[in-house]
Amino acid sequence: MIIKNAEKNHLQQINEITNYSIINTNFNFNFEPKTLEDTKKWYYEHIEKNFPIIVCLMDNKVVGWASLSTFRDYRGYDKTVEVSVYVRNNYKRMGIGSLLLQKIEDEAKNRNFHAIVSVITGGNDASINLHKKFGYEVKCTFEQIGYKNNLYLDVIFLYKIL
């Protein structure tokens, strides 16, 4: 497995992984799949703001990705970022999420961020447990504030001081 910065040629596969989650789970609150143009826009916005996007490659195939993003768009939060980690469905439970989370945390530290937040849908125990393994603490649960597939869903905020 190789972890590296995402490149333009990875965007189609990043899009596929994201869209699988949108279509097949309640863990991403988008209702419609992302277009490749949506993913390109997201990629270039991250590059412009110096927020990293990394991928995990196996045999030149993107099997997971992670990114850091703006937590909230106020200057007082400039030292806090939100983390996202996605693993291709057929590649879960292989340690890819751990590799990605460790590397993206290193990127956060290298950019002098102070805190990292993860926002996870209730019921996504694999993601919650992954973050806890890396020292993230559950700080609050907002009950039934998300909605997808005719269900009101809890949203859990975990965070870690870097």
**What tens digit of pLDDT does each residue of 35-61 get?**
999 999 999 999 999 999 999 999 999
What are the 10-residue block averages of pLDDT along the chain, 162 residues in total? 97 98 95 97 96 97 98 96 97 96 98 98 96 97 97 98 97
How confident is the model at residue 160, as a pLDDT? Answer: 97
Q: What is the CATH number of the domain that holds 82?
A: 3.40.630.30
Helices (H), 49-85: none
Helix (H) or strand (E) holding 6: none
The backbone region for 60, taken as left when phi is positive above 0, alpha when psi lies in -120 to 50, beta otherwise, is: left
State pLDDT tens for residues 66-75.
999 999 999 9
Query: What residue numbers bound the domain in which 21 lies?
Result: 2-161
Domain count, the chain: 1
